[in-house]
Amino acid sequence: MAEYWGVKVEDIFNSMQERFRPEGAKDVDSLFGYDIKDEGKWKLTVKDNKMTIEKTDDLTGCIATMKADGETFVGVNTGNVDATNAFMGGRVIVDGDMGAFGKTGKLFRKFVIAQKEMTTKDYLADMFATIVPRFKANEAEEGLDVSFAYDLGGPDGGKWTVFIKDKKCTITTTIEGKPTVTLEFNDARDYVDFILGKIDAQSLMASGKAGAKGDLNMMATKWPILFEKYKDPMAGNVPQQELIVLKKIISLNEKFSTGPVMGKFLKGLKEQKIYANKCPQCGRMQLPPREVCADCRVRVDEFLEVGPKGEVRYMDIIYYAMPDPLTGQVRETPYGGINILFDGCKGNETLPHFIRKDQIEKIQMGWNEKKGTRVRPVWEENRIGDIWDIKYFEIDE
C-alpha cells in the first residue's frame, strides 16, 4: 500500500474508531461507502451513537459513497489537500445523498499525523555529524590550536573530540591527546537538552549532572564564534498557534413603517385581495404597488385589484440551504420560488412567492406567448397583513 505524507489509506480507516465523536453522531443512522482507487472499499455503519468500519467489496445499502484516489483521500484527511478544491475539481466524487454524506464531517476528530520523534541517539549522531559543516573557518584566528572533548555517559553516550588547527576542523570519536577542555555529562540526554536550549549549563553543573575539565572559559568564548548554532531538525514541528474563532447568531429586533402604499397592499392580503398600482404614464402595473414609477418618475395613485389567480412565468428550484433572515436557521430544501403573473397583469409584472412543495415537478413556466401553469393562492386562516398571509400557491385545476 502506498504512503502519502507518511500515511497509508488504511491508517485513516483504522483510526476512525478512535477518532469517533458520539456527539457528532446524533440523528445519524446510515451506511456510508468509501471507494478508494487501487486501495479497496470500506463500509462505515453509524447507528445509535456507535460506529463500525469494515473493508468489504459490498457497498450495498450505503446512502452515499465517496470515490477518490489514495493520495486525495489521505490528503483531504490530513489537511494536505483542500477538501473543497478536491470536491469541486472532481477528484472527490460523492455518489448518492450528498447532504447525508456531509454529516460524516462531524463524526470524527481530525486525523493527526504521528510525528516521527528523534531519539537521543539520533540527535547525538546529527549534532556531531554537523559540527564540521557548521565550522566557520574564517572566524578562526591564525595559530589557533585547540581541542574540545566530550565525554557523554548513559546508554546512548560516547566520546568525541573536536580539533581546530590551521583553520581546519576535524572530529574523532575518541578522546585523544590533552584536550583544551573536556566536557563531561553523566547522561548524554542532558547534553542533547543542553544543545537544544532546554536546559542551561549552569543548572546542569550546579546539580552535578555535568562538569568540565580544563579551560572552559576558552570554549565558552570561542565556540559561539567558531560554529553556527545547531539547528533542531524537528524545530519545524512546533505546534501551530491556536486561533480563536467565535461563532454566534446576531439577532436584532426591527420595526418598519409600511407607508400608505405598501400598507394598502399588505392590508389587502388580510382581506384576501391582491392590489397592484398602475403608472399613469407608461401604464405598467406595479406589484407590490409603489408610490412612484421609477421608470417614468411620476406618482402612481391608481390601485387595481388583480388575481388572485395567475400563471407561473418562472420558477427557481432552490437546493441550497439558506438561512431564514428572521431566525438565522436554514430552510428545508428543495423548495420552489415562482414568479406569478396575476390575471390583470401583463409582461413582466409578476410577484414572487413559493409553490406548494409537492407540486414543484408539475410546474410549467410561461414564455412569450406560451402560458405557464395556472396557480391560485392558499390563504392563512389568521391573516395579519403580511406576505405570509398567502401560505403558498398551488396549481389551479
Q: What's the min distance (Å) between Cβ of 328 and other proteins?
A: 4
Site for other proteins contains 129 (CB under 8 A): no
Site for other proteins contains 386 (CB under 8 A): yes
Q: Residue from 121, 159, 264, 374 that binds other proteins (CB under 8 A)? A: 264
Site for other proteins contains 170 (CB under 8 A): no
End-to-end Cα, the chain, rounded Å? 62
Distance of alpha carbon 212 from alpha carbon 217, whole angstroms = 10
Q: Are 96 and 118 in contact (CB under 8 A)?
A: no
Cis peptide before 334 (omega within 30 of 0): yes
Q: Which residues from 130-169 bind other proteins, rule CB under 8 A?
A: none
Angle at 141 between CA 135 and CA 145, to 5 degrees: 75
Amino acid at 262: M
Stretch that binds other proteins, among 47-55, 122-130, 144-152, 198-206 (CB under 8 A): 198-206
Stretch that binds other proteins, among 34-42, 136-144, 165-173, 310-318 (CB under 8 A): 310-318
Q: Residue from 47, 177, 348, 362 that binds other proteins (CB under 8 A)? A: 348
Of the candidates 165, 124, 121, 171, the one whose C-alpha atom is nearest the C-alpha of residue 149 is 171
Site for other proteins contains 60 (CB under 8 A): no
Q: What's the min distance (Å) between Cβ of 145 and other proteins?
A: 19
Site for other proteins contains 238 (CB under 8 A): no
Amino acid at 282: C
Query: 324-333 burial, b if ≥16 CB within 10 A, otherwise e?
Result: eeeeeeeeee
DSSP code string of 7-21: EEHHHHHHTHHHHB-
Site for other proteins contains 223 (CB under 8 A): no
Amino acid at 149: A
Site for other proteins contains 278 (CB under 8 A): no
Q: What's the min distance (Å) between Cβ of 374 and other proteins?
A: 15
Site for other proteins contains 235 (CB under 8 A): no
Q: Residue from 365, 374, 379, 394 that binds other proteins (CB under 8 A)? A: 365
Stretch that binds other proteins, among 47-55, 126-134, 166-174, 386-394 (CB under 8 A): 386-394
Site for other proteins contains 373 (CB under 8 A): no
Site for other proteins contains 228 (CB under 8 A): no
Q: What's the min distance (Å) between Cβ of 370 and other proteins?
A: 10
DSSP code string of 136-171: -GGGSPTT--EEEEEEE-STT-EEEEEEEETTEEEE
Q: Which is nearer to other proteins, 11 or 349 (CB)?
A: 349
CB-based burial of residue 376 (10 Å sphere; 0-12 exposed, 13-18 middle, 19+ buried)?
A: middle
Q: Which is nearer to other proteins, 48 or 238 (CB)?
A: 238
Distance of alpha carbon 32 from alpha carbon 101, whole angstroms = 7
Q: What's the min distance (Å) between Cβ of 349 and other proteins?
A: 7
Reading phi first (left if > 0) and then psi (alpha if -120 to 50, else beta), residue 56 is in beta
Distance of alpha carbon 281 from alpha carbon 99, whole angstroms = 51
User: What phi and psi values does residue 19 have, to the nearest 5 degrees?
Assistant: -90, 0
Site for other proteins contains 211 (CB under 8 A): yes
Q: Residue from 316, 343, 371, 396 that binds other proteins (CB under 8 A)? A: 316
Site for other proteins contains 230 (CB under 8 A): no
Cell numbers at 56, concatenated: 468489504
Binding mask 65-104 for other proteins (x = CB under 8 A): -------------------xx--xxx--x----x------
Binding mask 98-117 for other proteins (x = CB under 8 A): x-------------------
Q: Which is nearer to other proteins, 220 or 378 (CB)?
A: 220
Q: Are 4 and 72 in contact (CB under 8 A)?
A: no
Of the candidates 375, 290, 390, the one whose C-alpha atom is nearest the C-alpha of residue 338 is 375
Q: What's the min distance (Å) between Cβ of 11 and other proteins?
A: 26
Q: Is 284 helix (H, G, I), strand (E, B) or coil?
A: coil
CB-based burial of residue 354 (10 Å sphere; 0-12 exposed, 13-18 middle, 19+ buried)?
A: middle
Site for other proteins contains 245 (CB under 8 A): yes
Q: Which is nearer to other proteins, 54 or 271 (CB)?
A: 271
Q: Residue from 246, 361, 381, 382 that binds other proteins (CB under 8 A)? A: 246
